[in-house]
């Protein structure tokens, strides 16, 4: 069963500055290493291809705790993050991620 928990700022958010987007993923047990490698390839491959996206990276949890993979990405502003989420290249990568994950938690904030 896929569970989603996304926490985003509401009150007091100004949408006047850069936004950091962090998503933690738990991957399915079957083929976990290959799934993580492909996630990194597909998502980091978006760098330089989507306007307003700066420095997307994928990291593995070196302590092997609750989540397996962390995505961190910086955007010009909240509008750029929204455009990224709807961009066809992101949608294609996201479709793959949804096939290999079991859970995610996200958090967006101004930096």
Cβ proximity of 23 and 71 under 8 Å:
yes
pTM of the model: 0.83
Q: Token pair 């949804």 is at which residue?
A: 98
pLDDT per position as a tens digit, 15-66 = 569 999 999 999 999 999 999 999 999 999 999 999 999 999 999 987 777 8
Among 4-18, 40-54, 82-96, whose mean pLDDT is lowest? Answer: 4-18
3 closest CA partner among 100, 95, 99, 104: 104
Burial class (CB in 10 A: 0-12, 13-18, 19+), 12: exposed
Q: pLDDT above 90 covers what percent of the chain? A: 79
């Amino acid at each position: 069963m896929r569970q989603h928990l996304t926490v985003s700022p509401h009150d007091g958010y100004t949408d006047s500055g850069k936004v950091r987007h962090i998503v933690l993923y738990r991957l399915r047990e079957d083929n976990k290493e290959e799934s993580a490698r492909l996630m990194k390839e597909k998502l980091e491959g978006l760098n330089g291809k989507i306007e307003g996206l700066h420095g997307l990276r994928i990291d593995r949890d070196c302590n092997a705790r609750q989540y397996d993979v962390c995505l961190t990405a910086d955007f010009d502003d909240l509008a750029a993050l929204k455009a990224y989420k709807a961009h066809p290249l992101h949608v294609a990568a996201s479709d793959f991620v949804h096939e290999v994950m079991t859970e995610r938690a996200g958090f967006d904030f101004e930096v």
